[in-house]
């Protein structure tokens, strides 16, 4: 994992590459279903997490992985990053599956499933919250677990999401996983304070992405109830 992180860190020392990757991943997700994913976030975060995630909602958001879908999404991100200065060195880490394996292990530590779209989006929110607030969610493990409960019911209630095929859910989840890992790894490399200007750029980019969906991570605290307004 250390080698993967160092390659990501070198890549994202260039702000233009970071912004290009963000725009690419958002463009891939620019379907009506993706817009519904975003619009449901505000409703999900408007109240603390329920004691349990609705079982039916968890089932609706789960998917089985198809190796062909994984290969397609992997090659799409590699093809895009290959066009960016200094990005070609990321291809081996992505093509080998190491980056996705690291993401899977991270989710499992949170108590999430990497084969559940709601859980993947919850991880994206938690890690984005860490980046924007320069915080460590590991200090609030109950909060980590609560965020998945916040999202499950709201996401599964969106008709276009509930109707997604396994392949569609997997595609969205894996695009989000790459975005999460690239952003998270860049943050880990920059948070030591060696380049505060680049860290601030990263934080603004991540915050701005979610502001478009009405979620301001600066105004949210991670508590036992999940991500709630301060």
pLDDT tops 80 at residue 17: no
Question: Residue 221's pLDDT is what?
Answer: 96
Question: Residue 202's pLDDT is what?
Answer: 84
Backbone angles phi, psi at 143, to 5 degrees: -65, -40
Q: What is the mean pLDDT of residues 209-224?
A: 87
Q: What is the pLDDT of residues 112-168, one digit of tens each?
A: 999 999 999 999 999 999 999 999 999 999 999 999 999 999 989 888 888 889 999
pLDDT tops 60 at residue 3: no
Average predicted confidence (pLDDT) for the chain:
82
Q: Per mean pLDDT, which of 39-43, 52-56, 84-88 is the most reliable?
A: 52-56
Question: Residue 222's pLDDT is what?
Answer: 97
Structure-model confidence comparison of residues 111 and 88, the more confident one: 111
Per domain, the residue ranges of the chain are 2-229
Count CA atoms closer than 13 A to 140's CA, side-chain side: 18
Structure-model confidence comparison of residues 94 and 105, the more confident one: 105
Question: Residue 14's pLDDT is what?
Answer: 46
Question: Residue 94's pLDDT is what?
Answer: 85
Backbone angles phi, psi at 228, to 5 degrees: -130, 160
**Cα→Cα distances 129→46, 59, 79, 206, 226, Å:** 16, 26, 29, 9, 11
pLDDT tops 70 at residue 13: no
């Amino acid at each position: 994992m250390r080698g993967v992180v160092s390659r990501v860190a070198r890549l994202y020392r260039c702000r233009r590459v970071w912004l290009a990757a963000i725009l690419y991943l958002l463009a891939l997700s620019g379907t009506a279903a993706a817009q519904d994913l975003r619009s449901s976030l505000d409703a999900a975060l408007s109240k603390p997490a329920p004691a349990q995630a609705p079982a039916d909602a968890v089932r609706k958001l789960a998917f089985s992985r198809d190796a062909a879908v994984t290969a397609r999404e992997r090659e799409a991100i590699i093809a895009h990053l290959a066009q960016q200065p200094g990005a070609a060195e990321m291809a081996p880490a992505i093509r080998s599956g190491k980056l996705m394996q690291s993401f899977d292990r991270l989710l499992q530590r949170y108590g999430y499933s990497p084969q559940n779209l709601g859980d993947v989006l919850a991880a994206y929110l938690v890690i984005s919250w860490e980046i924007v607030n320069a915080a460590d969610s590991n200090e609030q493990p109950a909060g980590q677990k609560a965020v998945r409960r916040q999202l499950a019911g709201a996401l599964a209630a969106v008709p276009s999401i509930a109707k997604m095929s396994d392949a569609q859910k997997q595609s969205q989840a894996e695009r989000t996983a790459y975005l999460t890992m690239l952003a998270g790894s860049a943050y880990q490399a920059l948070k030591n304070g060696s380049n505060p200007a680049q860290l601030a750029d990263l934080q603004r980019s991540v915050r701005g992405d979610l502001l478009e969906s009405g979620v301001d991570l600066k105004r949210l605290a991670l508590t036992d109830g999940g991500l709630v307004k301060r």
